[in-house]
Amino acid sequence: MKKHFTATAYIATKIDGKYKVLLHKHKKHGFWLGVGGHIEKGENPTEALLREVKEETDLEITLIKDQLLKIEDVEELVCPVAILEEKLAPYKNEPAHYHIDLIYFAICKNPQKIKMKEEFAWFSKKDLQKVNLEKEVNYLTRKLFNYV
């Protein structure tokens, strides 16, 4: 079965003094998740993620990271908070396949500039209790609230 590398951001921001996380409803599969997409040839995961977030939301994000290494001519990439292997169901003429999904946490300072074609919402911790989320999305959004 084919495996594709993807990168996903769970993005937090403060709205009306409260931290919220951005989720969108995936148009093909109908579940809520963070923003991201496929890593293209010639991209590293963070480049792909920043491109995908900009294309899909028009937001600029800052990835949450720990700086471990600083050496001239060596760039430390942001480590994902998780790497998931997710089986995706067939969709139309696309067969079932896997995503190797690198998960990142990020902060956004301009949530009012968001432009998305898909259904989206900014969820508070309390709002998340009212939404039916995939198990891993539920876990990751709650973990993000611990960071912010």
Q: What is the pLDDT of residue 67?
A: 63
Q: How does pLDDT run across 22-37, given as a tens digit for each residue?
A: 999 987 778 899 999 9
- Three-state SS for 143? helix
Instruction: Label each residue of 28-70 as H, E or C.
Output: CCCCEECEEEECCCCCCHHHHHHHHHHHHHCCCEEECCCCCCC
Could you tell me the pTM of the whole model?
A: 0.90
Q: What is the pLDDT of residue 68?
A: 67
Distance CA 33, CA 56 (A): 13
- Phi, psi angle pair for 95, to nearest 5°: -75, 165
* 46: nearest Cα among 32, 33, 65: 65
Low-confidence ranges of the chain (pLDDT < 70): 67-69
In this structure, the dihedral spanned by the alpha carbons of residues 65, 140, 13 and 68, taken in order and rounded to 10 degrees, is 0
28, HSE (Cβ side, Cα atoms, 13 Å): 10
